[in-house]
Structure 1
């Protein structure tokens, strides 16, 4: 059975020319949404529908997509609340030291001395670098920037991330 990964959620239509408004959940929007890319739409009580991207543009915090063969708002209205996914087989091999979000979320974060900080719960991409939200027992979530000076080693096999926390980064939690 094919495994799928979420790339976005269709939250609404946009205009009358068959555009849909997508809240993106992919690390690679320019690749996932490029013209000719294949996405699979999953909706409740309906068979998955394969769609081919006809157009993509950014608008505010959304990605706006059009699909081949769906030129009109009435064609895409039923897509609302659907989840766009990509087949895991369509994943591109990443460069060394690049990872997909789904590979990082759930990993245990430890300091270099072996002290466990918590588990990666989600990844935010507010700007220049991603920020990992690390869930800790009995404490506020820690926000760890995904930068070389902090994230020292990612071991997918053992599901562990080793970090060097700069002084002051986690002080609020102690």
Structure 2
């Protein structure tokens, strides 16, 4: 399991006073209001940044970090990810999982006929769709609904699934 979780990506600067536009990669962008710090992955190191102000603009979150007071201080971080530690992550409900924890999980059908691993998660309006790479090179798009996801055991790195009729045709 990952020790940090991505919550956003710096997409661009905002104005000349060190603010940045962040594209949130979390389900609840409002959570930025509650955060005091975030981790910035520069590629070489992780910097702990103190959040000074939070605003919202369309689908973006506008952040200002303490000590970054002009565009030149922050511009080099465009495209970099913002993370939180697990201690600062949102609490999950029963049968909810962080996408980072699901990627790479070994997947097996209830009858054992299909095996593979979870490669990606596609967020749709109704429910997520799991992209599963099957042995033999095929790919299965499986809706993340109770009828299809029978059991998830992150400690064992396993997911048991039921494939609805017609999904493999």
**TM-score category (smaller protein):** 0.7 to 0.9
CA distance in 2, matches of 1:78, 1:93: 32
Unpaired segments ≥5 residues, structure 2: none
Give the 5 Å matches for 1:38-53: 38-45=37-44, 48-52=47-51
Post-superposition offset of 1:15? 4.1
Paired residues, number: 167
Q: Residue 38 of structure 1 contacts residue 53 of structure 1 at CA under 8 Å; is this kept in 2?
A: no
Query: Residue deviations 1:9-52, cap 9 Å, x none?
Result: 22322344544233433344332x22544211121446613231
Q: In the alignment, is residue 126 of structure 1 matched against residue 124 of structure 2?
A: yes
Q: Please give the root-mean-square deviation of Cα atoms over the aligned residues, in Å.
A: 2.7
**Compared CA separation, residues 36 and 106, structure 1 to 2 (3 A):** closer
**Compared CA separation, residues 158 and 139, structure 1 to 2 (3 A):** same
Q: In the alignment, is residue 79 of structure 1 matched against residue 77 of structure 2?
A: yes
CA distance in 1, matches of 2:108, 2:6: 28
In the alignment, which residue of structure 2 is the partner of 1:149?
147
Unpaired segments ≥5 residues, structure 1: none
**Compared CA separation, residues 136 and 104, structure 1 to 2 (3 A):** same
In the alignment, which residue of structure 1 is the partner of 2:53?
54
Give the 5 Å matches for 1:3-42: 3-16=3-16, 18-31=18-31, 33-42=32-41
Q: Residue 36 of structure 1 contacts residue 53 of structure 1 at CA under 8 Å; is this kept in 2?
A: no
What SS class does the counterpart of residue 48 from structure 1 fall into? strand
What is the TM-score normalised by the length of structure 2? 0.80
CA distance in 2, matches of 1:131, 1:47: 31
Q: Residue 39 of structure 1 contacts residue 53 of structure 1 at CA under 8 Å; is this kept in 2?
A: no
